[in-house]
Chains A and B, each alone.
Chain A
Amino acid sequence: MIKAINLTKVFRTESVETTALNGINLEINEGEFLAIMGPSGCGKSTLLNLLGLLDNPTDGELWFLGQEVSRYTENNRTDLRNGNIGFVFQSFNLIDELTVFENVELPLLYAGVSVKERVDRVNAALDRMQIAHRSEHFPQQLSGGQQQRVAIARAIVTNPHIVLADEPTGNLDSVNGNEVMNLLQELNREGTTVVMVTHSEENARMAGRLIRMIDGNILTESRK
């Protein structure tokens, strides 16, 4: 599904050049649950961003669903992301001015889905995340756990092939964190590919495959 060959990302400022990814080779198959671990600054979030088509690599190849996408423009990447990739962030990243329903509806709105279908799909996603009773609330009126459930609902509402989660439990207490992890596991069981960056060994153990990174390189790789 995703294949990275010699993937390199270098960040440059006027005087400093930082190599965030140093020739990563990685293949992710459909239906996998992959966890990425490593200390701060090791490049795991950078890798996730490249895999999620949020950024282009400096060098190397990146194949996504059979297309080489490493030189895609922002507009091409947006097209490819839409409906194929769902994102879950540590800080939830819900839009404060939109209700729960509208936040989840957003990807469908941009994909040009009809009103009726939007309503059905959003309600289904909210039901699945057990947050439908809060659909008219604004994000600030929800707890952290509830907000992350809304974020997951938004990530899955388009039935994406892959969900990318960047430290999804980082801002949550253990109870809510476990709940979120259970949801991700459940999604994976239903066939969605999940790639998760985490600091938590416990969360990482719930994944089917774990890679550890350091200084922009993959240090180890293990499977359950």
Chain B
Amino acid sequence: MLKHYVKVALRLIKRSFLFSSINMLGFVVGMTAAFLIYLWIVDELTFEDFNKNRNEIYRVIRVVENADGQVPSTATPLSGIFRKDYPKVENATFIKYSNAADFHFGNDFIVAKLAYVDTTFFDVFDFPVVAGDPKLMKKDPQQIVISEETAKRMFGNASAIGKEVIHNFWREQRPYKVAAVLKVPRKSHIQFDVLIGWNSFLSYHKEEENNWGWSERMHVYIQLKKGQKLTDADRLAMRNLWIDHSQWGKPLDFQPLSDIHLRTPFKEPDDVYNHGNIQQIYLFAALAALIVFMGAFNFTTLSTARASQRFKEIGVRKVTGAKRHMLITQFLSESLVQAFLALLLALALTELLLPLFNRFVEKDIVLIFNWQTVLFILFGILGIGCLAGSFPAFYMSSFNPLLAFKGGQATGRKGALVKGLVCVQFVISIVMIIGTVVVFKQLHYLQNADVGLDTENLVMVDVDDWREESIPYKQEVLKNSHVKSITIGVDLSDFLQGYRWETSKFSWQDEVGRMDSLEMVGLVGDRDFFQTLGLELVKGEAFEADPDKFWSGAYNVTPIVINETAWKMLDVENPVGMILKGDLNFTGRGTSRIVGVVKDFNYQPLREKIRPVFIYYTNQLLVKMYVKISPVNQAETLNFLKTKYEEMRPNHIFVPQFFKSVLKNNYARERQLSQVFLIFTILSILVAMMGVFGLVALSTAQRTKEIGIRKVNGAHSDRIVRMFCREYMIWVGVAFVIACPPGYLFMDRWLSNFAYQATVGWWLFPMAGLVVLLITILTVIVQTWRAASRNPVTSLRYE
């Protein structure tokens, strides 16, 4: 019997190739999109899978009182205490990230990401070993581990094991030997080029030994005994461990390793790469499901609409003894066969599109047949086939054989369902268009909004803490007429990646003698900071008061410049000259005087609101050099800056970036989202229009007689086309009304993620409806014109 069903299904596809193609194309498009998204989701959900003990590993988190509530950096000695005092803990380790550092080999050198790890690091984490033995680090502090990519950069295809590498730390040279080369999986939150043992670090920094204070960029991990889970009682028992040992201690929390990639609820400094977003997974999964459903709806609508062409067959089968369940099985197997064929095509298409998709999502996903793929295929065939085929199967099998011979039953149910499903497709398309336009508008706004800085022709270079030594360079390059201005300060493209600890609390006495206080974000810059970055002074001056004391830091009272937001919050008429008390970011300087006020500017992406800021001098945190250059001969100017830099600052590489493009990169997430939205919108419209195309084709075929009679009675072709168009216009109209509320809701909720939002006019909604309407009308006209312009005699004869 099954053979019979499959045979009939295949012959049916061959016979009505156009409809079957539309049916299957909807499936293929839907399933391909779903498959790609599915592979992406599986990839996202399998981060850290290379670690054998992944289910037992937790990252130790510091609970703090500020806005985000949690920070991953803690203190080194915690790992030893965890190992010693908690029987449930099998092991503990830590990694301390450092800045990019120079590593010399032979006569050459590279800049690489460096981190320090303790001896148990490789007992906890299982980075795949390419060559050598990473555990040699335990015995010999001079042994280091490098990533496969770093080994290639340093030694090409030659073996790196045992080779000498010299780490330049300031003016000191620290020699090491390569113990092992490791693969650093893309799906690891820990990314490094070079790992050096903590013991080696301590031999140069004795003061760090047993430092119970908070250590920046220090991540501690614990590994529980096999099969153990951290209970609430365990968490409670270990919560105050740090406080118990140190006056600087904070409460602790524990984040499962598998949660780090997708469920990190706080902002991390950029040591931890590859962060995903569970919300985005939900969103993309929902989009993929929508496209699949749209494909399935096409199948349902077309199959139901096509039922009239199978009345005779249904009648014959019933008369010759088919029971209802047999017909249901037959029709379902037809949809399963189509789903199966569509899935094969979708798999092929996925394989074909995967390289493009990988480039787009910056992954290296490959299509392999594991249980996940098999699951998807099974779901694809059974789930989608049944979902799409159920209604037509139950509907068609319900015909009375006599009515079937006479041309079906006169019921409006089918028509309502078909219209309903087409409406749903229109609704999805309209909502998708609204979503896409909103995301694109916001992205455009983010990338082009006036951030209060002069970003044109501004070059940014990572100089990693360059202090007084930079003065001769500045003087030298300013001799070039194409170099307009130069400054060194903090990273203003995304200050501390939204990480909020760099604030100082200032207090002052107001007019009536009461003490008031305000927490402000501290930005560091030298005296050319304002001019080079185009910060606009609205009051006072910019560090001009006492320039000679700039580098020595010999201020009794530190001059600071605040922004307008701070001025507003200080709530004074003229802040210039105000004396504020408060430690300037651990510099030990206690008293500051406001010398000027600058217009508000965005030092973080526009997702964040501008907070009160003070700008001050310190010889720390001077990490980025900004050079304003003239718009002409930029390549030459950059070359000049590079030559001079590398000449005057040996062992450093000049890597310039245009500030404007760096700012744009802050919105990579939004850009990716906008592209995904665009693709899905096009797909949804395509699938919806395939449905419309098929339906119109069917209804023109079914209404051939009506068209003929209308023409015999004097209707012109355009009038008949208009008649068809009018029907679809009503459906689009209904869909538009339904689509507006969810479209508005999406827009409102998504935009609320941003402190600064693009204005979206009401016109967007009718525009989205109009786009769908126009495409629909076009599809209807193309399809009906031929039928409408046919000779009426032919139309009637066909009938």
Q: Which residues of A contact B (CB under 8 A)?
A: 49, 52, 54-55, 74-75, 78, 81-83, 87, 89, 93-98, 102, 106-107, 109-111, 154
Whether B319 pairs with A75 at a CB distance below 8 angstroms is: no
A81 and B319 form a contact (CB under 8 A):
yes
Q: Does B318 reach chain A (CB closer than 8 Å)?
A: yes
- Ranked nearest first, the 4 interchain pairs of A and B with the lowest CB-CB distance are A110-B321, A82-B321, A97-B11, A107-B320
Cα(A174)–Cα(B15), bound, Å: 32
A102 surroundings in chain B (CB, below 8 A):
4, 7
Contact segment of B200-208, B238-246, B397-405: B397-405
- Contact across chains for B8 and A98 when beta carbons are under 8 A apart: yes
Query: Provided the pairs A97-B15, A98-B8 are in contact, do residues A106 and B402 lie with their beta carbons within 8 angstroms?
Result: no
Whether B769 is near chain A, meaning CB under 8 Å from some CB there, is: no
Report 8 cross-chain contacts, Cβ distance below 8 Å, ordered by A residue. A54-B401, A81-B321, A82-B321, A93-B316, A96-B15, A102-B7, A106-B316, A110-B323
Residues of A contacting B209 in the complex (Cβ-Cβ under 8 angstroms)? none
Given contacts A95-B313, A96-B15, A98-B8, contact A110 B322 (CB under 8 A): yes
Tell me the B311-329 residues at the A interface (CB within 8 Å).
Answer: 312-313, 315-324, 326
Most buried by A among B313, B317, B319, B402: B319
Q: Restricting to B1-21, which residues have a CB under 8 Å from any CB of A?
A: 1, 4, 7-8, 11-12, 15
Residue in B1, B8, B312, B315 whose Cβ sees the most chain A Cβ within 10 Å:
B312
B15 touches A109 (CB 8 A): no
The bracket for how many chain B residues form the interface is 20 to 34
Nearest-CB residue, chain A, relative to B410: A13
B 298-313 binary contact with A (CB < 8 Å = 1; else 0)? 0000000000000011
Q: A49, A74, A89, A110: which has the most chain B beta carbons within 10 Å?
A: A110
Answer whether A75 and B324 are a contact pair too, CB < 8 Å, given A93-B405, A98-B8. yes
Min Cβ gap B37→A in Å is 36
Is there contact, CB below 8 Å, between B318 and A78? Answer: yes
Assuming the contacts A78-B323, A109-B1, A110-B321, asked whether A94 and B402 have C-beta atoms less than 8 A apart, the reply is: no
CA distance A109 to B5 in the complex (A): 11
Mark B615-626 against chain A: 1 for CB-CB distance below 8 A, else 0: 000000000000
Instruction: Collect the chain B residues with CB atoms within 8 Å of residue A52's CB.
Output: 319
Q: Which of B12, B319, B402 contacts A97, CB < 8 Å? A: B12
| CA distance in complex: A21, B320 (Å) | 25
CB distance from B309 to the nearest CB of A (A): 10
| Residues in chain A near residue B15, CB distance under 8 A | 96-97
- A164 — nearest CB in chain B belongs to which residue? B319
How many CB-defined contacts (below 8 Å) exist between A and B? 59
Specify which chain A residues have a CB less than 8 angstroms from the CB of B322 in the assembled complex: 78, 110
A60 and B763 alpha carbons, distance in the complex (Å): 67
Report chain A residues within 8 Å CB of B317. 95, 106, 110
User: Given the complex of chains A and B, what is the CA–CA distance between A110 and B7 in angstroms?
Assistant: 16
A106 to B319, CA, bound (A): 10
In the bound complex, do residue B321 and residue A111 qualify as a contact, i.e. CB atoms below 8 Å apart?
yes
A94 B316 Cβ-Cβ under 8 A: yes
A81 to B400, CA, bound (A): 14
Partner of A110, one of B8, B12, B326, B405: B326
Complex Cα distance, B319 from A83, in Å, reads 11
- CB pair B321–A78 under 8 Å, yes or no, is yes
- A55, A74, A75, A106: the one contacting B320 at CB < 8 Å is A106
With a cutoff of 8 Å between Cβ atoms, the chain A residues found around residue B319 in the complex are 52, 54, 81, 87, 93
| Residues in A neighbouring B326, C-beta threshold 8 A | 110
Q: Contacts A97-B8, A102-B4, A109-B4 known; A75 to B313 CB distance under 8 Å?
A: no
Taken together as a complex, chains A and B put the C-alpha atoms of A7 and B326 apart, in Å, by 31
For the complex, give the distance between the alpha carbons of A95 and B326 in Å: 16
Other-chain contact of A93, B12, B312, B323, B324 (Cβ < 8 Å):
B312
Q: With A54-B319, A87-B319, A106-B317 known to touch, is A74 a contact of B402 (CB < 8 Å)?
A: no
Nearest Cβ in chain A — how far from B768, in angstroms?
41
Choose one: A75, A89, A96, A109; the contact of B323 (CB below 8 Å).
A75
Contacts of A96 in B (CB 8 A): 15, 313
Given contacts A78-B321, A93-B405, A110-B321, contact A55 B315 (CB under 8 A): no
List chain B residues, Cβ under 8 A from A74. 324, 400
Chain A residues whose C-beta falls within 8 Å of the C-beta of B4 in the assembled complex: 102, 109
Q: Are A107 and B321 interface neighbours, CB within 8 A?
A: yes
Closest to A95 in B: B313
- Not counting A78-B318, A109-B1, A154-B320, a sample of 10 additional A-B residue pairs whose C-beta atoms are within 8 angstroms of each other reads A54-B401, A55-B402, A81-B321, A89-B405, A94-B316, A102-B7, A107-B320, A110-B317, A110-B323, A110-B326
Closest beta carbon of chain B to A204's beta carbon, Å: 23
Q: Are A93 and B315 CB-contacts (below 8 A) given A55-B402, A74-B324?
A: yes
Of B313, B320, B322, B324, the most chain A CB neighbours within 10 A belong to B320
Q: Which residue of A lies closest to B8 (CB)?
A: A97
Complexed CA–CA distance, A93 and B321 (Å): 14
Interface positions of B from 400 to 416, Cβ below 8 Å from A: 400-402, 405
Query: A87 — which chain B residues lie within 8 A by C-beta?
Result: 319-320
Tell me the complex Cα distance, A78–B322, Å. 7
| Of listed B316, B321, B402, B405, residue having the most chain A CB within 10 A | B321
Which chain A residue shows the least CB distance to B315?
A: A93
Report B275 CB to chain A, min CB distance, Å. 55
* Chain B residues with CB under 8 A of A49: 402
Q: In the complex, what residues of B have CB within 8 A of residue A106's CB?
A: 316-317, 320-321
With contact pairs A74-B324, A107-B321 given, residues A95 and B400 touching in the complex (Cβ less than 8 Å)? no
A103, chain B: closest CB distance, angstroms: 8
Enumerate chain A residues within 8 angstroms of B402, measured Cβ to Cβ: 49, 54-55
Task: Determine the distance from Cα of A162 to Cα of B11 in the docked complex, in whole angstroms.
Answer: 33
State which residues 347-403 of B face A: CB under 8 Å: 400-402
Q: How far is the CB of A114 from the nearest CB of chain B, in Å?
A: 12
- For window 322-342 of B, CB contacts with A under 8 Å fall at 322-324, 326
Q: Which residue of A lies closest to B15 (CB)?
A: A97
Decide if B400 touches A110 in the complex (CB within 8 Å).
Answer: no
CB-based nearest A residue for B4: A109
Known A55-B400, A93-B312: A110·B324 in contact at CB below 8 Å: no
A106 to B314, CA, bound (A): 12
Query: Which of chain B's residues has its CB closest to A110's CB?
Result: B321
Complex CA distance for A78 and B318, rounded to whole angstroms: 7
Residues of chain B with a CB closer than 8 A to A94's CB: 316
Bound CA–CA A83/B1 (angstroms)? 18
Task: Give the Cβ gap from B6 to chain A, nearest Cβ, in Å.
Answer: 12
What B residues does A111 contact at CB under 8 A?
A: 321
Residue of B nearest to A93 (CB): B316
B73 shortest CB reach to chain A, Å: 70
Residues on A with beta carbons closer than 8 Å to the beta carbon of B400:
55, 74
Q: Which residue of A lies closest to B323 (CB)?
A: A78
Chain B nearest CB from A58 CB (Å) reads 14
C-alpha spacing A49/B403, complex, angstroms = 11
